[in-house]
Amino acid sequence: MQTRIRRGLAAAFPPFLVLLAVLGLWYFISLFVMTEDQKFLLPPPHDVVRAGFLTWRSFHEMLLGLWTTTQVALIGLAISIVIGMSIAILMSRHRWFEKTFFPYAVAIQAVPIIAIVPVIGLWMGFSFRARILVTIIISLFPIITNTLLGLQSVEANYHDLFTLAGADRRTRMWKLQLPSALPAIFTGFRISAGLAVVGAIVGEFFFKQGNARGIGRLLSAYQLRLQTKLLMAAIILASMLGVVLFLAVGALGNRLTRAWRTTAAPEI
């Protein structure tokens, strides 16, 4: 137990030092670099905490917005995982499918999401589903590429073992390729978890006519009203949401991957 605590403290100490350095730089710029007329652009951290987190009305408003954004991000991420893994499995099993559709997956990823959002708003309105679609578009590609890479990177010796045992393609996929690809798959999930939060916030930021008041709409409102203290607090909350999703997906992936690695060889 003590060894585990020491390892945890050792792992947390460098990020803590970086956090102190960032806060110190923030204070220095806010208090000594900016003039009195400019200080509202970057208020010091304690003002941000007091206005955004210690004032219940503002904090409650941001929590409600964060909950809406979390719903959009989680639903969009879940749908992206289902669609992305399905496409990657089809690409790994059918070479013609990969050659046909992979360029379009790259094209969707290459188009700036800001250019797509207005079109989605015109087609689907400014609804909850439109925000989910934006989230899916921005988080789908890493799942496809990482899952496909993992499925295609299984060692040839394992494939030979399954061939000798007479395993069919379905058995090979479920008992060999998918378990072996777990590290790559969850790497894609972690990347897409952060992107899902970005997609949800971008959709909310631009769909101002919608009913849902997510953290993205609050960011837009605070920006227009020049409420920089609340704006910085909302940015911090949005960042924390991305970090929490990233860590949660990473913890789940590490647990499943560790269980696979403890197995001496895949079972047929």
Query: Which pLDDT belongs to residue 265?
Result: 46
Contact by Cβ (8 Å): 208, 220: yes
Give the range among 2-16, 99-113, 164-178, 224-238 with minimum mean pLDDT: 2-16
Domain ranges of the chain: 1-42, 44-261
Give the C-alpha separation, 97 to 82, whole Å: 17
Rounded Cα distance, 141 and 147, in Å: 10
What is the predicted pLDDT for the residue at 82? 96
Say how many CA atoms lie within 13 Å of 36 toward its Cβ: 0
Q: Which CATH superfamily is domain 44-261 in?
A: MetI-like (1.10.3720.10)
Neighbours of 188 (CB within 10 A): 29
Q: What is the pTM of this model?
A: 0.87
Residue 257: pLDDT band by 50, 70, 90 thresholds? confident
Q: 225 by DSSP, 3-state: which?
A: coil
Buried b (16+ CB within 10 A) or exposed e, 205-226: bbbeebebebbbbbbbbbeeee
